[in-house]
Amino acid sequence: MNLYTLMKNRRSIRHFSDKKFPRKTIELVLNAGLLAPSGADKKPYVYIIIDDPVLKEKIKDRCEEIDKRLFANSEGWFKKWMLEKQISLEKNFLVDAPYLVVVAGETNKPYWLESTWLSIAYIVLAAENEKLATLTYTPGEMDFLHDLIEIPFNFEPVVIIPIGYPSKRASKINKNNKKKIFFNRYDSD
Ligand SMILES: Cc1cc2nc3c(=O)[nH]c(=O)nc-3n(C[C@H](O)[C@H](O)[C@H](O)COP(=O)(O)O)c2cc1C
């Protein structure tokens, strides 16, 4: 598929079916992440694929607990936005999607965060190219992953990406198209 069509079609998906897909496809998608530019060519990140149902359940429990606490303490506009977007505090996608990918950045490397997110963008688009849905899920706190999946402390988990097929409940919400592109100077009109 044409790259622009892929970009246009991609949406965050929060409801997944449990339909399986081959492990080599997830490896293909993650190898695309490694093709992204990275500061000083350090590729300062690792990808950890999780398909163990027990681990997935533990991750879901912890994330729900963390996000419920965060939501209770968050500002009104955020609560309203979550409601409008129909984003639930139940994170079933963490058990329904056949694979979760934890991306952790190596914090002592230059441009580690920028490079890590750029590689995430490549992963998300490569998944779309394989007709697979994703969500860049960033729970309020991910430190528990150090213990749970043995991430060394010089790496910081930055995202959990469920990858799989959307369920029938999944909806694609329209984009807001505020003016973002300017020529020569910023123009507030
Ligand atoms: C840095 C970042 C963090 C995000 N964190 C979450 C999250 O924790 N939970 C969630 O449901 N969506 C999360 N998203 C997805 C955004 O809500 C989503 O990209 C945005 O609403 C636009 O929708 P679209 O991806 O369908 O175009 C995140 C996206 C980014 C780029």
Q: What is the pLDDT of residues 24-79, one digit of tens each?
A: 999 999 999 999 999 999 999 999 999 999 999 999 999 999 999 999 999 999 99
pLDDT value of position 188 = 80
pLDDT, mean over the chain: 94
Distance 137 CA to ligand 1 centre (A): 7
Dihedral pair phi/psi, residue 16, rounded to 5°: -115, 150
**Type of residue numbered 165:** Y
Beta carbons of 167 and 123 less than 8 angstroms apart: no
Distance 139 CA to ligand 1 centre (A): 11
Taking the CA of residue 139 as reference, the ligand 1 atom at the shortest distance is: 8
- Taking 90 as the threshold, does the pLDDT of residue 187 lie above it? no
Confidence of residue 172 (pLDDT cuts 50, 70, 90): low
Q: Which domains, and CATH codes, for the chain? A: 12-164 (3.40.109.10)
Q: What is the distance between the alpha carbons of residues 104 and 91, in angstroms, rounded to a whole number?
A: 20
Report the nearest-CA residue for atom 27 of ligand 1. 11
Q: How far is CA 27 from CA 21, 101, 146, 163, in A?
A: 11, 11, 23, 12
Find tokens 């694979």 and name the residue: 99
Pocket probe mutation, ligand 1, options 135, 142, 156, 176, max atoms within 8 Å of Cβ: 135
Report the nearest-CA residue for atom 29 of ligand 1. 136
Pocket probe mutation, ligand 1, options 137, 156, 158, 173, max atoms within 8 Å of Cβ: 137
What angle in degrees, to the nearest 10, is found between the helix axes of 53-72 and 76-84? 130
Q: Which residues surround ligand 1 with Cβ inside 6 Å?
A: 11-12, 14, 87, 135-138, 175
